[in-house]
Amino acid sequence: MDSPLTTYLLPVVLAVIMFGLGLGLSVADFRRITAYPRAVAVALGCQLLLLPAACLGLVLAFGLPGELAVGMMLLAASPGGTMANIFSHLFGGDVALNITLTAINSVVAVFTLPLVVNLSLAHFMAGTDQALGLRFDKTVQVFLVVLVPVALGMLVRERRPGFAERTERLVKVVAVAALVVVVIGAVAAERNNVTGYLRDAGLVVFLFGAVSLATGYGATRLARAGHRQSVACCFEVGMHNTTLSLAIALSPSLLDSTRIAIPSAVYAVLMFGMALGTGFLLRRLGGPVTAGSDLPDAAPRASDGLTVPE
């Protein structure tokens, strides 16, 4: 994967992606946690503890080879993407809660994602050159490339809200388009092995996606959260940010592995259909809903339901 395209473009793409995320966040998104303390606590518990544990169980049960196993754990450790906002909006979820969870997860993942990846590399790839994975210097790099752009994006939104609203979609479209080019190049380079990767990882990815969606809704309902809050948690917990996980897996300065990126690539393809099916099922469970009536304590924002897929 060592090429000028990946060496110089991917770190920039990752930073731009996180800057775009910051453009859609404000300090109020973090403060709103007091309005949903139970739902936020349950969703974070699922995302930080239950899903990595469930993913590890699936990886061990199916005996995935080292790099695919690490790729699954990287996917499990990745926070929810902005697509969760769109699906929550369409199927009657509480989008304000989605925004709050996205804000918190974006910060927490800076610390938890390198930890999960390092432990996975040490366990599944011990004795290989990549076993060191995200060393301290690389962990610091993830911190800088992820958190600093988010903070800058939030600062721009605070100082120039009109500019942030106008440019948020454009920034994400450009970043995702560039990442798609890199992913296509990576897949083309491994085209002789793609069928084998799909055979090895496809079923595990599907099961993990199903577990993620079911856990997000079921756990919050068990905690006596409302249907709309549970729908929001279903998509926030169930739809992982594959843009972030792909960028980390493919970046030469981080993991630099097409094989580690395979689970995220497969997940990105499968999750759209799975999320749609789940949304229609949740709509039947919750009765008729009106998309867009999901911001009781915050004014609707242009970014709600209008973000680029991650």
User: For helices 37-45 and 95-124, what crossing angle results, to 10°?
Assistant: 20
Mean pLDDT on 108-112: 80
Mean pLDDT on 83-90: 76
Q: Which domains does the chain have, with CATH numbers?
A: 4-286 (1.20.1530.20)
Tell me the two tokens of residue 12: 């920039």
Mean pLDDT on 305-309: 35
Closest CA to 258 of 83, 8, 10: 10
**pLDDT reading at 47 higher than 80:** yes
- Map residue 80 onto helix, strand or coil: strand
Question: Could you tell me the pLDDT band of residue 125, with boundaries at 50, 70 and 90?
Answer: confident
Closest CA to 72 of 55, 85, 96: 55
**pLDDT reading at 214 higher than 90:** yes
Specify the pLDDT at position 298: 40
Task: Give CA 110 to chain center in angstroms.
Answer: 12
pLDDT in tens, 135-159: 555 555 556 666 677 778 888 888 8
Contact 64, 72 (CB under 8 A): yes
What is the 8-class DSSP label of residue 225?
Answer: -
pLDDT in tens, 242-299: 877 887 888 776 777 888 888 988 888 788 788 888 988 888 876 544 433 333 434 3
Average pLDDT, the chain: 75
* CA–CA dist 230, 73 (Å, integer): 24
pLDDT in tens, 2-19: 445 555 566 677 677 667
CB atoms < 10 A from the CB of 180, how many? 13
Distances (CA, A) of 235 to 47, 190, 239, 286: 11, 31, 5, 15
- Map residue 160 onto helix, strand or coil: coil
Specify the pLDDT at position 288: 47
Closest CA to 214 of 291, 293, 274, 153: 274
Q: Helices in 78-193 by DSSP H: which ranges?
A: 83-90, 95-124, 136-159, 161-189
* CA–CA dist 180, 64 (Å, integer): 26
Top-confidence range, 35-44, 94-103, 205-214? 205-214
Tell me the two tokens of residue 149: 């752009």
**pLDDT reading at 200 higher than 90:** no
Closest CA to 265 of 286, 243, 282, 287: 243
* CA–CA dist 298, 28 (Å, integer): 9
Q: What percent of the chain has pLDDT over 70?
A: 70
Q: Give the 3-state secondary structure percentages of the chain, helix then strand then coil, rounded to 5.
A: 80, 0, 20
